[in-house]
Amino acid sequence: MTKRFACAVGGGQCKWGVREASYLDMAQEAAKACLTDIPGLKHTDIDGLLFSSTFVGRRSTQVNTAPVIAERIGVKPTSICARVDVLCAGGSTGILLAKGLVESNMADIVMVLGGEKLYTPERWQVQYDEMAAVDHDWDGPQGVGPPPLWFSLQAREHMQHYGTTREQMAAVSVANYKYGINNPKGHFQKDLLLEDVLEATEVASPLGLFDCCPLSEGAAAVIVASEERAREMSDLPLVYLRGGAQVSMHSVTANWPGKHLGDWPHLRHAGEKAFQKSKLTPEEINVAQVHDCFSISQIIELEELGFCPKGEGGPFMQDGQTHVTGKIPVNTDGGLLSAGHPFGGTGIRQGVEIVKQLQGRATNQVKDAAFGLTHNLSGANVEHTIVVYGNEPVR
């Protein structure tokens, strides 16, 4: 039997930020942008829909959301119609699930669409709702929920063990905001100086305002299809889903799997699995999108994914190695820090950016990009999800 390969064909997103729009409005905008990006695709060709969102039921009072989305965007799924909830990794998880559906011959063309509507009914409630994203019996009552507090602890541990500096963390924000200037659909289009980051309002020491990603409203969509159907709908270079991994080694923060909070073995394990399945090494990745929910997270992720040695993520950033001409261009559309973070949409936005990079049509284009990677963490850093893309399949 001939092996079936899954491809990410193209995609799009609506404007991200604080929106005067419902989650249905934004889903429709993202679906339209996705279809516009693939002129050879008709909405009636799509036989599967995976909708990734965590707070849609809590904030928008709509459960069993996928059929509602399908009807509003004119899709009639015959292979899959389901919602995926993995918080920040919902989008990338949906892409991995779509890959499995296509390669197992259960679906031909799947739209993975995801996003969040957060600032209703009351904007102040968002931070309280995030308490529901951690272990509700153990961590929640201890106040672990608010992400800046948890990542400030991880930043302090990394600084203590590896000598990471406040300036090195600020370099992450400066680099990612620089990329984001050219992303009109991102949350922010702002040029930051190092001084802006260092002098910003403190959120949770040592993290300041620009070390933290915003909570954004918005949606994004991507099409995953079989190689044959991808060729029919687009003349652009094919982008294959080469592999991926998702690893969770704990839930309660007291059971942190590392030697200290600056040591992330669950990400290290996910990276090793993803590279093994995709038959690539970190050195072969040309462009990456990592989960920069906070500046410190990107530094640690670069280390654990093998893009630089452990403990050297700070100097790596300070030396400009994630710039478009650096060793490994990272978060080339602004990342979470600049583009924003509507949880369920983030992994999809990352995937669309990698697809465009590998097709040679990204705004901040990396020269001769052939292999790309996306990474998300979820909750209180309890899950890590990786998707690897390439211009040729794994044979």
What residues are annotated to the active site? 88, 341
| Rg of the Cα atoms in the chain | 19
Burial class (CB in 10 A: 0-12, 13-18, 19+), 75: buried
Strand, coil or helix: 53: coil
Q: In whole angstroms, give the CA distance from residue 135 to residue 145.
A: 9
Q: In whole angstroms, give the CA distance from residue 95 to residue 101.
A: 10
Residues 6+ apart with CB under 8 A from 243: 274, 276, 277, 278, 279, 387, 388, 394
- Stated as kind and residue range, the H or E segment containing 9 is strand 6-13
β-pairing, 207-208 vs 240-247, is unpaired
Decide if 391 contacts 370 (C-beta within 8 A). yes
Q: In terms of residues, how long is the chain?
A: 395
Instruction: Name residue, tokens 């800046």.
Output: 148
Q: b vs e for 192-227, b when ≥16 Cβ sit within 10 Å of the residue's Cβ?
A: beeebbeebeebbebbbebbbbbbbbbbbbbbbbbb
Strand, coil or helix: 83: strand
Phi, psi (degrees; rounded to nearest 5) at 259: -70, -30
The DSSP secondary structure of 235-250, one letter per residue, reads: -SPP-EEEEEEEE---
